[in-house]
Amino acid sequence: FPVTIGRYHNFKDFMRFPDFKNPDFLFKYQPPNDHPKLKNAQSIINVIEKEDILLHFPYQRFDHVVDLLREAAIDPKVRSIKINIYRVARNSDVMKALLAAVFNGKEVTVIMELQARFDEENNLYWSDRLKEFGARVIYGVPGLKVHSKLLQITRISGKKEQFISYYRDWE
């Protein structure tokens, strides 16, 4: 029999891994938590100005990132939002926040990965919408698949330029 050596790429199979009818192999679902510093915060940007915040997914809510984008979209001190996106939902709150930022005069640049397995149609849809409303959209490099999620918000506070960054290394 031929032996194939290589890397297994279909990680979705791990989500359907059999439980062998043994309750010791199952863990109770744990919903994501609020970050304690962001739970009742009026402004995520104000919290981040005072101290760095580390979010750990899936243990903490991704909503904090969406809330940060929404806040940046309406903050008059924000000049630009730059983001790298791999996979986008059809009804994406991230994309809606970016459109709001464009409407509010922010410079929005999106690097959109088109090779997002099963989500290419959504990525193209949102790319077209963003371009239609004035965002700069850059497509991923052919042959290079980028899974990282990167975000940089540029603000002017007084005479000082501030950068708020977010990095997520995997889906």
- 171 residues of the chain, pLDDT tens digit each: 455 555 555 666 666 667 778 888 777 888 999 999 999 999 999 999 999 998 888 888 989 999 999 999 999 999 999 999 888 888 999 999 999 999 999 999 999 887 766 678 888 899 999 999 999 999 877 777 777 778 999 999 888 999 998 876 544
Distances (CA, A) of 54 to 34, 48, 116, 171: 12, 10, 26, 17
Q: Looking at 9, 56, 64, 147, which residue is catalytic?
A: 147
Kindly report the CA angle at 162 between 156 and 67, in degrees rounded to 5?
Answer: 90
166: helix, strand or coil: strand
| pTM exceeds cut of 0.75 | yes
9 is catalytic: no
pLDDT of residue 115: 73
pLDDT of residue 6: 58
**Number of neighbours of residue 148 by Cβ within 10 angstroms:** 14
